[in-house]
Amino acid sequence: MLVLVVGLGVYLGYLNHLINSRFVGDTWALPSRVFARAAELYPGLPLSAEQLIYELELSSFLAVFAEPMPGQYRQLGESLELHTRPFDFGDQLQPAKTIQVFFERGRISAITDSRNGADLQLFRLPPVILGSYYPDNDEDRLLLSEAEVPQSLIDALIAVEDRGFYDHSGLSPMAIARAMMANIKAGKAVQGGSTLTQQLAKNLFLTPEKSLLRKFNEAFMALILELRFSKRAIITAYINEVFLLQQKRIAIHGFAQASRMLFKRSVDSLQPQQLALLVGMVKGPSRYNPFAAPQRALERRNLVLKIMYQQGLLTEDEYASAVEAALGIVKRLPGVNPFPAYLDLVKRQLQSSYSSDELAQRGLRVFTAFDPLLQRNLELGLARGLQGFNQPELQAAVVIADYLNGDIQALVGDRITDYPGFNRALMAQRPIGSLIKPLLLYGLLEENLTLASKIKDEPIRIQQSNGNVWEPGNYDRKLHGEMSLYQAFIHSYNLPFVQLGIGKGLESLADNLAKIKLLKHEVVYPSMLLGTTSMSAYEVSQMYQVIANNGYFTPLTTIRSVADQDNHTLARIPLESHKLFDQASMIQVQRAMIGVGEKGTARYLNQRFAGRTLAAKTGTTNELRDSWFAGFSQRLLAVVWLGRDDNSSINLTGSSGALRVWSEIMDLQGFESFKLSRDDNLAWRHINPEDGGISRESCTNSVLLPFPKDRIPTTRSRCQ
């Protein structure tokens, strides 16, 4: 007997240890949450009612017709009235507030406080939650704390699954006996006698196998859970843990996540029929899957509604209305996280910027630069652009950033933007082609050349160290004679840049890539002059951030700040911004990039966005395997890559492929024209780009370019 008692004690201690490892430490109540930027609303802001509704619904605001409660909004003519929930921004605790936002011609015209009618000059909208996860196991779940679980969900779940939940101590002998009788009568297993606590124990710690040992473990664990934790804690853990859906290879656990995915709503805003469908799916997620078996799911939902009515959880009118309602689910089950590529980068940057001890804390609040409206325009523009190519296997990666402060505001790593697979924006390393030329041009300008310098487009043969001969050519396979460096750049001719680069140009290019930590190889080959270096879209964005920002390097980041559960900010990532390159030379590069969009390989921009100024560069790799485009307006930098995962030809150049996608995105987003900075070391002159000579402004093909004051062209060109 003593041996049995000691053995049982050791065994129970082991089960208790398992429970401690998973259940103790605020595991369920305090997930780490990642937030988008907080939208600042003010009169004059370019924002339509439709755009604001999109962001509100991402935050699970519910549209109503009566006066809105917290988390609700309604349309009143040309205005929106919304009732926000309280939110702690760190520097300000904003209470729940009801405001009315008025719109006129696509802009906010006024904001008023609904309680007293006072005008508001600024209102911060609580940010959208991008996702929740645990840094120690990299899970991504949307979890509810005890206070966040709606009572209606608890009542419905108990009414259907375990009516004696508040009376038993983990096991229900009556339920077990009732199940045994039903199974004996049917001659097979048709009913289970497990309580919600037993189901939680099974879900958390045990396998789904049907055996006496598993039932034995399940029973003892249920007793330990009931002994150590409150009923509220147990039901909350169950609501967060229960398996409800399967999205491809990912199992969806928890009512909060399933509600967002099936109905695009938070659990506290579900209608009775929606709540009943989720509760009904607990019994058999596969059997009652509303996509695979809609009729069976409807019947199960209506049975749950009947039980809720019989238990007094619904009135007769509510029950009649709910039973007649359609399932009301989304047409296509979205990804677990609607923005997986961005959240992936957030997690990577958290791990590289904060200590493991800091990230191990529960309840972290991660504030990012993510802009939901810009991301929406990116996704819509990408879909429109890809539609024109009719290539289902064509893949894409896009990065959009504010090049002044380094904020990455939107990002996709797959043409199916909510698919959490291979993140091509970060992981796909592909040759960048002519996207290397702006940095190469910078090095040449530093070597005392100017945009007006005369160069020749002629054949070249280079003997390499391994004995092979490299004979590069232009993309159009033609020779174009003598021209200015500016002309060669905007048309992206290869041979002139190889001619110039085999001297100090190659060495300076390697040095400049090393400065921004993008030199990938210790051995530098001449072919690097034509962009054989492989980079990801994220790395290309970092290179162009320096170019767009007048030579000032700012690391691209998603993270603005990280705070603990008490809103104490952790050690911030230091904001770097230091000068790496000469501003005057970089302004000359920017002016040449403007020419690419005016009359060069990206002249489509001049047709699409006539009257607006953009700086741009196209990139195409051998055999048309990769299509690249990088361009920037005032503050906004966007990089687009198109290609196939098997690296086969896509038959698209940078201008016929990525440029078109880029243009669709920027057209939807809207932008300010890029403005070149003033620099007193530069003088501006009109030249003839054909020969680099000074010309008059009235000349047909003259172009206004900047020059260092000690290197202004002296030759004159005949005016046409």
Categorize the per-residue pLDDT at 62 as very low, low, confident or very high, splitting at 50, 70 and 90.
Answer: confident
Q: Return the half-sphere exposure (C-beta side, CA atoms, 13 A cut-off) of residue 407.
A: 17
The closest of 77, 123, 63, 126 to 99, measured between CA atoms, is 123
Residue 498: what are its φ and ψ, rounded to 5°? Answer: -70, -45
Can you give the pLDDT at residue 671?
A: 96
Can you give the pLDDT at residue 26?
A: 44
> pLDDT digit string (tens) for 338-347?
899 999 999 8
Q: Which among 60, 172, 269, 434 is annotated as catalytic?
A: 434
Task: Give percent of the chain above pLDDT 70.
Answer: 90
> pLDDT digit string (tens) for 625-668?
999 999 999 999 999 999 999 999 999 999 999 999 999 999 99
434 is a catalytic site residue:
yes
**Between 258 and 208, residue with greater pLDDT:** 258
* CB contact at 8 A, 47 and 105: no
Domains of the chain: 38-126 (3.30.2060.10), 433-531 (3.40.710.10), 682-720 (no CATH)
The bridge status of strand 62-63 relative to strand 72-76 is parallel
Can you give the pLDDT at residue 183?
A: 53
State the chain's mean pLDDT as an integer. 89
Q: Is the dihedral of CA 485, 490, 496, 501 positive or negative?
A: positive
Look at residue 73 and give its three-state secondary structure: strand
Whether the pLDDT of residue 12 is over 80: the answer is no
Question: Encoding tokens for residue 662?
Answer: 């880029």
**What is the average per-residue pLDDT within 404-418?**
95
Rounded Cα distance, 677 and 486, in Å? 19
Rounded Cα distance, 588 and 550, in Å? 10
> pLDDT digit string (tens) for 17-36?
666 656 654 444 456 789 99
Categorize the per-residue pLDDT at 575 as very low, low, confident or very high, splitting at 50, 70 and 90.
Answer: confident
Q: Return the half-sphere exposure (C-beta side, CA atoms, 13 A cut-off) of residue 39.
A: 24
Rounded Cα distance, 299 and 629, in Å? 52
Whether the pLDDT of residue 190 is over 50: the answer is no
H/E stretch holding 367 reads strand 365-368
CA distances from 113 to 110, 117, 256, 627 (A): 10, 5, 31, 50
> pLDDT digit string (tens) for 673-693?
999 999 999 999 999 999 999
Look at residue 167 and give its three-state secondary structure: coil
Rounded Cα distance, 472 and 460, in Å? 7
Judged on CB neighbours under 10 Å (0-12, 13-18, 19+), 536 is buried
> pLDDT digit string (tens) for 75-120?
999 999 999 999 988 778 899 999 999 999 999 999 999 999 999 9
Categorize the per-residue pLDDT at 261 as very low, low, confident or very high, splitting at 50, 70 and 90.
Answer: confident
The closest of 181, 201, 202, 205 to 191, measured between CA atoms, is 181
Q: Which among 161, 218, 379, 664 is annotated as catalytic?
A: 161
> pLDDT digit string (tens) for 442-501?
999 999 999 999 999 999 998 877 778 889 999 988 999 999 999 999 999 999 999 999
286 is a catalytic site residue:
no
Residues 598-629: b if buried by 16+ CB within 10 A, e if exposed? bebbbbbbbebbeeebbbbbbbbbeebbbbbb
**What is the average per-residue pLDDT within 508-530?**
91
Categorize the per-residue pLDDT at 362 as very low, low, confident or very high, splitting at 50, 70 and 90.
Answer: low
Whether the pLDDT of residue 439 is over 70: the answer is yes
H/E stretch holding 58 reads helix 49-58
